Amino acid sequence: MALVTSGMIRSRAYRTLQTRSAPARSQVCRSAVVAQAGPNGATAPAPAPQAKPKPAAAPAAKEFTNTNRFIVPKHVQQAFVAAWRQREADMQGQPGFLGFNVISDGETHTVSSSWASIPEWEAWSVSEECRRSHLPQDIWQFVPKKGEGFPEDFVPFKNYDEPVNAKY
Protein backbone atom coordinates (compact mmCIF):
# COMPACT_ATOMS: atom_id res chain seq x y z
CA MET A 1 0.00 0.00 0.00
CA ALA A 2 1.52 3.29 -1.10
CA LEU A 3 1.40 6.36 1.07
CA VAL A 4 -0.93 8.92 -0.51
CA THR A 5 -1.07 12.46 0.79
CA SER A 6 -3.88 14.94 0.33
CA GLY A 7 -1.60 17.06 -1.85
CA MET A 8 -1.07 14.08 -4.17
CA ILE A 9 -4.80 13.50 -4.38
CA ARG A 10 -5.45 17.15 -5.23
CA SER A 11 -2.75 17.31 -7.91
CA ARG A 12 -3.88 14.01 -9.49
CA ALA A 13 -7.48 15.23 -9.46
CA TYR A 14 -6.45 18.54 -11.04
CA ARG A 15 -4.59 16.79 -13.88
CA THR A 16 -7.57 14.50 -14.43
CA LEU A 17 -9.98 17.43 -14.46
CA GLN A 18 -8.10 19.14 -17.24
CA THR A 19 -8.51 16.13 -19.55
CA ARG A 20 -12.21 15.34 -18.91
CA SER A 21 -15.56 16.75 -19.84
CA ALA A 22 -17.66 18.76 -17.36
CA PRO A 23 -19.79 15.80 -16.10
CA ALA A 24 -16.69 13.66 -15.76
CA ARG A 25 -14.89 16.46 -13.94
CA SER A 26 -17.72 16.60 -11.40
CA GLN A 27 -17.39 12.87 -10.72
CA VAL A 28 -13.60 13.19 -10.28
CA CYS A 29 -14.07 16.03 -7.79
CA ARG A 30 -16.51 13.94 -5.76
CA SER A 31 -14.05 11.02 -5.82
CA ALA A 32 -11.24 13.25 -4.60
CA VAL A 33 -13.37 14.57 -1.75
CA VAL A 34 -14.40 11.04 -0.73
CA ALA A 35 -10.80 9.85 -0.93
CA GLN A 36 -9.67 12.74 1.23
CA ALA A 37 -12.57 12.87 3.67
CA GLY A 38 -13.65 9.26 3.83
CA PRO A 39 -16.76 7.48 2.54
CA ASN A 40 -19.21 9.07 5.00
CA GLY A 41 -17.95 12.62 4.29
CA ALA A 42 -16.40 13.11 7.69
CA THR A 43 -12.87 14.33 7.73
CA ALA A 44 -10.35 12.16 9.45
CA PRO A 45 -8.99 13.57 12.68
CA ALA A 46 -5.55 15.08 12.44
CA PRO A 47 -2.88 12.76 13.73
CA ALA A 48 -2.02 13.37 17.35
CA PRO A 49 1.16 15.34 17.77
CA GLN A 50 4.04 13.17 18.81
CA ALA A 51 5.13 13.91 22.34
CA LYS A 52 8.79 14.64 22.69
CA PRO A 53 10.48 12.02 24.79
CA LYS A 54 11.35 13.33 28.22
CA PRO A 55 15.01 13.34 29.06
CA ALA A 56 15.94 10.60 31.45
CA ALA A 57 15.83 11.81 35.01
CA ALA A 58 19.12 11.87 36.81
CA PRO A 59 19.42 8.99 39.21
CA ALA A 60 18.67 9.92 42.77
CA ALA A 61 21.77 10.78 44.73
CA LYS A 62 22.86 7.84 46.81
CA GLU A 63 23.90 8.43 50.41
CA PHE A 64 27.57 7.84 51.06
CA THR A 65 29.39 6.86 54.24
CA ASN A 66 33.16 7.13 54.36
CA THR A 67 34.63 4.76 56.96
CA ASN A 68 38.23 4.56 58.11
CA ARG A 69 39.82 2.38 60.79
CA PHE A 70 42.83 3.59 62.75
CA ILE A 71 45.29 2.17 65.26
CA VAL A 72 45.64 4.87 67.90
CA PRO A 73 48.23 4.28 70.65
CA LYS A 74 47.17 5.41 74.13
CA HIS A 75 49.62 8.33 74.25
CA VAL A 76 47.90 10.07 71.27
CA GLN A 77 44.27 9.12 71.90
CA GLN A 78 43.36 12.52 73.39
CA ALA A 79 44.86 14.37 70.42
CA PHE A 80 43.08 11.96 68.03
CA VAL A 81 39.69 12.58 69.69
CA ALA A 82 40.29 16.36 69.73
CA ALA A 83 41.17 16.34 66.02
CA TRP A 84 37.97 14.49 65.16
CA ARG A 85 35.84 16.78 67.37
CA GLN A 86 37.18 19.74 65.39
CA ARG A 87 36.54 17.94 62.09
CA GLU A 88 32.99 17.12 63.12
CA ALA A 89 32.38 20.79 63.95
CA ASP A 90 33.76 21.75 60.52
CA MET A 91 31.66 19.08 58.76
CA GLN A 92 28.48 20.39 60.43
CA GLY A 93 28.69 23.50 58.24
CA GLN A 94 29.08 21.57 54.98
CA PRO A 95 26.14 20.93 52.62
CA GLY A 96 25.03 17.31 52.60
CA PHE A 97 26.57 16.34 55.94
CA LEU A 98 24.30 13.82 57.68
CA GLY A 99 26.23 12.50 60.65
CA PHE A 100 29.44 11.39 62.26
CA ASN A 101 30.40 8.41 64.42
CA VAL A 102 33.54 7.22 66.23
CA ILE A 103 33.67 3.73 67.72
CA SER A 104 36.61 2.84 69.94
CA ASP A 105 37.73 -0.70 70.71
CA GLY A 106 40.93 -0.28 72.67
CA GLU A 107 43.56 1.06 70.27
CA THR A 108 41.40 0.51 67.18
CA HIS A 109 39.07 3.38 66.27
CA THR A 110 36.48 3.28 63.48
CA VAL A 111 35.44 6.68 62.17
CA SER A 112 32.45 7.13 59.84
CA SER A 113 31.02 10.27 58.29
CA SER A 114 27.74 10.10 56.38
CA TRP A 115 26.84 12.36 53.48
CA ALA A 116 23.78 12.91 51.29
CA SER A 117 25.84 12.06 48.19
CA ILE A 118 29.36 11.29 47.01
CA PRO A 119 29.79 14.73 45.35
CA GLU A 120 28.99 16.41 48.68
CA TRP A 121 31.58 14.28 50.48
CA GLU A 122 34.08 15.07 47.72
CA ALA A 123 33.40 18.79 48.17
CA TRP A 124 34.17 18.39 51.87
CA SER A 125 37.32 16.39 51.18
CA VAL A 126 38.81 19.23 49.12
CA SER A 127 37.53 22.03 51.34
CA GLU A 128 39.86 24.37 53.19
CA GLU A 129 38.64 23.02 56.56
CA CYS A 130 39.39 19.41 55.64
CA ARG A 131 42.79 20.21 54.18
CA ARG A 132 43.80 22.11 57.34
CA SER A 133 42.87 19.30 59.71
CA HIS A 134 45.49 16.62 60.19
CA LEU A 135 45.58 13.74 62.61
CA PRO A 136 48.40 13.46 65.15
CA GLN A 137 51.58 11.48 64.43
CA ASP A 138 51.98 7.83 65.49
CA ILE A 139 48.58 6.85 64.11
CA TRP A 140 48.24 4.08 61.53
CA GLN A 141 45.28 3.19 59.36
CA PHE A 142 43.95 0.02 57.81
CA VAL A 143 43.22 -0.10 54.08
CA PRO A 144 39.49 0.58 53.66
CA LYS A 145 37.51 -2.46 52.59
CA LYS A 146 35.74 -2.29 49.25
CA GLY A 147 32.71 -0.05 49.59
CA GLU A 148 33.91 1.67 52.78
CA GLY A 149 35.24 4.75 51.08
CA PHE A 150 38.58 6.49 50.89
CA PRO A 151 41.64 6.30 53.15
CA GLU A 152 42.80 9.27 55.17
CA ASP A 153 45.53 11.38 53.58
CA PHE A 154 48.92 11.58 55.29
CA VAL A 155 48.36 8.60 57.60
CA PRO A 156 50.48 5.48 56.96
CA PHE A 157 48.91 2.05 56.41
CA LYS A 158 49.28 -0.95 58.66
CA ASN A 159 49.20 -4.57 57.43
CA TYR A 160 47.88 -4.12 53.95
CA ASP A 161 48.08 -6.85 51.34
CA GLU A 162 46.04 -5.25 48.56
CA PRO A 163 46.59 -2.11 46.52
CA VAL A 164 45.27 1.07 48.03
CA ASN A 165 42.88 2.87 45.73
CA ALA A 166 39.69 4.88 45.85
CA LYS A 167 36.73 2.62 46.56
CA TYR A 168 33.12 3.77 46.64
Let me know if residue 98 belongs to a domain.
yes
29 and 71 part of one domain:
no
Query: Is residue 60 exposed (0-12), middle (13-18) or buried (19+ Cβ within 10 Å)?
Result: exposed
Distances (CA, A) of 154 to 5, 8, 49, 117: 74, 78, 61, 24
23 and 73 part of one domain:
no
- Return d(Cα 106, Cα 132) in angstroms, integer: 27
Residue 120's pLDDT is what?
Answer: 94
The sign of the torsion formed by the CA atoms of 45, 49, 50, 51 equals negative
Let me know if residue 92 belongs to a domain.
yes
Position 5 confidence tier, pLDDT thresholds 50, 70, 90: very low
Let me know if residue 32 belongs to a domain.
yes
29 and 96 part of one domain:
no
133 and 74 part of one domain:
yes
Between these two residues, 45 and 69, which has the higher pLDDT value? 69
The count of other CB atoms within 10 Å of the CB of residue 13 is 19
Residue 6's pLDDT is what?
Answer: 45
Let me know if residue 110 belongs to a domain.
yes
pLDDT in tens, 128-141: 988 888 888 888 88
Let me know if residue 159 belongs to a domain.
no
Between these two residues, 81 and 156, which has the higher pLDDT value? 81
132 and 95 part of one domain:
yes
Global pTM exceeds 0.75: no
Let me know if residue 97 belongs to a domain.
yes
Residue type, 151: P
What is the CATH number for 84? 3.30.70.100
17 and 71 part of one domain:
no
Give the range of the structural domain holding residue 29, as residue numbers without chain letter: 6-37
How many folded domains does the chain comprise?
2
